[in-house]
Structure 1
Amino acid sequence: MTHINIARVILMIPEKRIIRRIQSGGCAIHCQDCSISQLCIPFTLNEHELDQLDNIIERKKPIQKGQALFKAGDELKSLYAIRSGTIKSYTITEQGDEQITGFHLAGDLVGFDAIGGLQHPSFAQALETSMVCEIPFETLDDLSGKMPNLRQQMMRLMSGEIKGDQDMILLLSKKNAEERLAAFIYNLSRRFAERGFSQREFRLTMTRGDIGNYLGLTVETISRLLGRFQKSEMLSVKGKYITIENHAMLSQLAGQSVAVTA
């Protein structure tokens, strides 16, 4: 990943792992070395368990902006862990309209909603050039039956996704437009911080149209509210770049008890 200091990481890796990486081509970043592994499946696994997980993961080539990771109706073959970039998930309504259901960042796992029916009910598309790890589901399922730590981490990740869906329902049903957008920005800030990035300054990889679609608001409303937030000196907005000037004000408007997973 671009945000990792490869030279520093290599110094911390046992010699046998360096040899294994060179033999496998020298370009793959393994779970042990990934900067966001604590947010992903490897969290809580020991070295032996990480080696077993590493053996089943395929590090895919970069996914380009606009490229589909999977489509609705596709058979569930793999789950996808995002190493870098942003993926949006969406469905198509009966009227043929796109409805965005989530924005997934580095460390997130995509494809959980297909486990029940073994078929993807939604689409996943890259909003920017992204890197993902493809994890064959059947093999992962078999491995989790032998590794309690892996099974527990999978359950934690699925629980987090369910909680995010519940929070989104609460947001759309209880919050006005201003509060919805504030909650969206506040939680993006929190998620960036969890990944070691600045929680004060960041770039929106999604369009204002995407944000409006997700929050049930028009593009015009999103633009008007961003202007209002800037006028109140809560935010600075320059194109896609956001700077939070008054975090306390944003937190209060967002509602501290709300933690929507964007």
Structure 2
Amino acid sequence: MLIAGFPAGAWGTNCYLVAPAAGEECVIIDPGHQAAQGVEDALKKHRLKPVAVVLTHGHIDHVASVVPVCGAHDVPAWIHPDDRYMMSDPERALGRSIGMPLMGELTVGEPDEVRTLTDGTRLELAGLELSVAHAPGHTKGSVTFQMPEARDGSDIPSVLFSGDLLFAGSIGRTDLPGGDMDEMLGSLARVCLPLDDSTVVLSGHGPQTTIGQERATNPYLRQVAADRQARGAEPAPRRGM
């Protein structure tokens, strides 16, 4: 398994390229502001051929390079329908005061082909399996992508690309248009709590972490875990740590 990631642009948004191995097809996750050159550099370094761009949500810091990246490689972009409008209307998505000084340098619009992500979809792309979970809270159309743990005995853990749902020590903001804290906490409970502690979390901003680390230290995940326990729900898995 190859995962090449780098922070890009004014917001330091993590863009990821995922492939079974170097020299093979890959999926690109969240090519945001000023990410296009970093994508090209990573493709060349690892001899990868992209087959799709998949988006955790529609904020401009995660989608600003979708048009040039998809256009350069003639690949589709996948996004939840509730966030699709954000590619063409980032000002409506963020509000007028957030990041608007940068609007003049951004490529706004949709790539030639846009496909729809829905909750429970299992994408099979580039020899990879990505399970899609709808995770509203940061935006109405936020999703996560989970790759299962390796089945070949190589001891590679499951990986969750969490977008702006879950960060190391924190969560995504909920004060922008479409954000909702109750939905955010519900998504954390539904998407993150059931995962094994060994699951690696690669988020939209900041360093990687694990579900076990966040279950132990993240105040928001601790809150939803306590609420779950108070309701008498089954404890979440703790295998792997």
User: TM-score, normalising length from structure 1?
Assistant: 0.28
User: TM-score, normalising length from structure 2?
Assistant: 0.29
Bigger radius of gyration: 1
Higher helix share: 1
- Answer 1 or 2: higher relative contact order, Cα 8 Å, separation at least 6: 1
